[in-house]
Amino acid sequence: MDTSHPVHRQMVRLNLTLLSALAILWYLTPLKPLFAGLILGIAASFYFTLTLSRRLRMMRELVEHRSKRRIGSGFAFRLLMTGVLVLVIARFPHHFNILAFLLGLPVGTVILAGLMWRDDSKNKISGGKE
């Protein structure tokens, strides 16, 4: 997904809005570990979604140029990063809620899927014209 693509811009805007709203709720409510876990999970999910889209763009460019070079999807990195974040949460359980973190992890993918579905539906209705 190109960074100039409307879905990419919408995803960034939506994620930043969601993270800002959660930061305000974290500040205003006594449920700080819950909102801190959600913020950490959604921020990680947002980062993972952006890096995956970058790697997919790089793969597409390599295929277009018929390059023999191979690029992975970064699955091991995302798994390692999630493990490190779980260790941080385990180290500071009074600051982060592990269930909220796990609940926040798929949010970036769900937002991206929803935006792509909406964009696809809009393109089918308009016949591909913007």
Q: What is the pLDDT of residue 1?
A: 53
pLDDT tens readout for residues 17-35? 999 999 999 999 999 999 9
Q: Which residue did the predictor score with more confidence, 120 or 5?
A: 120
pLDDT tens readout for residues 52-91? 877 777 777 787 887 777 777 678 888 899 999 999 999 9
Whole-model pTM: value is 0.79
Can you list the positions of beta strands (E) in the chain?
Answer: none
CA-CA-CA-CA torsion sign (118, 121, 125, 128)? positive
Which tokens sit at 114? 């929803």
Per-residue pLDDT band at 43 (split at 50, 70, 90): very high
